Structure 1
């Protein structure tokens, strides 16, 4: 039956006094450039009903949206401006300021990551009845106890790899109740955290040196993948926007949602770029996710807690090295090409895999106003399409 469902840094010379006012100004500009596009928005699957196998909005509709391109243009300009600052004399000054502000965490970053990941699993255990995240519900009580065991393993270095294996095992167990396409939302982040837990206690320093990079890549891929929901299923967000209209800051609904998707995707992409771009992207995302806690409450804090913890780690990272394609990323002209390539790869994967898993018959036969994207039962959002209610296709006369 188908289920629905060794830290590296470049040598530093004699420090030059840095104006705190300049640092604040740079961070303020970064925030203002990003925040209008994505104010506090929770993970939609935690709060609104949806149908995972509903046909997504065609890609042609997405790329025909002028607000999509305006968002892309503004973010590319921001990234290019950040890169210009990074290669100027101000770049190292800003890095030094961020290094001083976060040194207390950087000096014990492994302890911080272990404590916050462990605390996340304790919180998930306390919520109970879920696999890893609020929307993956399960009636199996032992799953919660397994997550508490994972938390316990994290606090002892010899058992940290067992915690990493446990995370992957939980994801695989969730396949009993949820579609693989649905679980892709949580695959990259889970693999990133598991890789960190396996690499951190390793005696192989060459392997261990990649542990924070694994966290950053896992989070970046997870953000870019999940952002595509805002393009494929803007209707999923309508109940949230109607219930909490202040989220859009007065922007029209169909302007806000695609630009929010652009912001989430591009800032996730920014976590993979040069050091200053990724640090400022992490800070902007951290403020956004923190702001979401107020309107959405405890579930949002628990669900995004792991993401927020990793964003803090990225912002604290004093590594000035770019390991993947460094000779390409140093060029400002590579930024629009990089964003375009990432969009092409992720969009092709998202729409292509959805077509592979669920086919195109319903999508081809249904008129645009017959796209049913919501389940009638918010308590069972991964259940079959309703015969009546907001998720039901209109009755044909």
Structure 2
């Protein structure tokens, strides 16, 4: 049984690393005007087949994961990481400060897609950095409020559904705002939720606007490992969506974070400084996920006691979530 679990995890990691070598916010690396694909073309036989396959794999994964907790190596690693949890908020706070500082110095407004256009925006970003660096929780909350103000300002210009790509900034600010309050236990679950949904939303972009991802593959020499570019984009988006989904439902978060961190490092080597500037905050979040695990989070699957009920729940819930986000994105995104 343990060999099977190890093999399954290795396969998931290998599959993830391959297609997601091309993972990035595609809007950062192409000047093409986004053109929506038709629903009929999106729901291709490859897409439908992968959706069913992923649903089944997730169902199996939830059944074999409990055996991991009995491994001595896993218990040792978990114990060491648990001892680092006291630094999680500090890491989130100062990591956000560094991420914003990098954005200011590069002339970007939170992400490379948006440039600083006014002196007020520069002042707000510098103010947030200074407040976040002050070692007091009131200053931290003030810095988080400033970040939220910046997010609202950008959202008013770019649109709500466009900014869902970067929901992780709102999630970070929300987690910092509830520090040392009665709502503090909800801070990291909110961070998981915001980051997971952000990854899911970005993944759907590759299905709705595949022309942009295909342009990146062609112009940046992204390896497709023998797959056609069209099929490669579909698979890459699926893996990215699955990672975001699993972060939300609280399954395998430490392993996922390690895999995803390696992926982001590889994309930084491929796409250069722009990728590093835009995803520094994500690196901090993933590092926190590695430390925190899911000790605070009770996965919804635990509502069901029978294995068959769990398998049905996980499979159908994934299909429902996938369909819902695609339809919302297709209807409202520009």
Q: 1:85 aligns with which of 49, 61, 64?
A: 64
Q: Shift in Å at residue 25 of structure 1?
A: 6.2
Task: Give the 5 Å matches for 1:1-397.
Answer: 28-51=10-33, 54=35, 56-63=36-43, 65-88=44-67, 90-93=68-71, 95-100=74-79, 102-103=81-82, 105-128=84-107, 130-155=108-133, 156-175=136-155, 177-186=157-166, 188-202=167-181, 204=182, 207-275=183-251, 277-323=252-298, 325-328=300-303, 331-354=310-333
1:215-265 C-alpha deviation (Å, 9 max, x unpaired): 111101111111111111000112211123343223210010011111111
> Which SS does the other structure have where 1:42 is aligned?
coil
Q: How many angstroms apart in 2 are the aligned matches of 1:283 and 1:184?
A: 24
Match of 1:8 in 2: none
Unaligned runs of 5+ in 1: 1-18, 359-397
Contact 1:33 1:78 in 2 (8 A): no
Contact 1:217 1:272 in 2 (8 A): yes
Using the size of structure 2 for normalisation, the TM-score is 0.87
Q: Shift in Å at residue 318 of structure 1?
A: 4.0
Q: Shift in Å at residue 210 of structure 1?
A: 1.2
Q: How many angstroms apart in 1 are the aligned matches of 2:100 and 2:262?
A: 23
Could you say if the C-alpha distance between residues 75 and 230 of structure 1 is closer, same or farther in structure 2, counting changes exceeding 3 Å?
same
Q: Shift in Å at residue 134 of structure 1?
A: 0.6
Runs of 4 or more, structure 1, over 4 Å off, are 21-27
Q: How many angstroms apart in 2 are the aligned matches of 1:329 and 1:311?
A: 29
Contact 1:33 1:75 in 2 (8 A): no
Q: How many angstroms apart in 2 are the aligned matches of 1:249 and 1:105?
A: 38
Contact 1:34 1:75 in 2 (8 A): no
Unaligned runs of 5+ in 2: none
Q: How many angstroms apart in 2 are the aligned matches of 1:33 and 1:324?
A: 24
Q: Shift in Å at residue 324 of structure 1?
A: 6.2
| Number of matched pairs | 326
Could you say if the C-alpha distance between residues 327 and 175 of structure 1 is closer, same or farther in structure 2, counting changes exceeding 3 Å?
closer
Q: How many angstroms apart in 1 are the aligned matches of 2:48 and 2:155?
A: 36
Contact 1:113 1:313 in 2 (8 A): yes
Q: How many angstroms apart in 1 are the aligned matches of 2:300 and 2:63?
A: 18
Q: How many angstroms apart in 1 are the aligned matches of 2:139 and 2:210?
A: 42
> Which SS does the other structure have where 1:134 is aligned?
strand
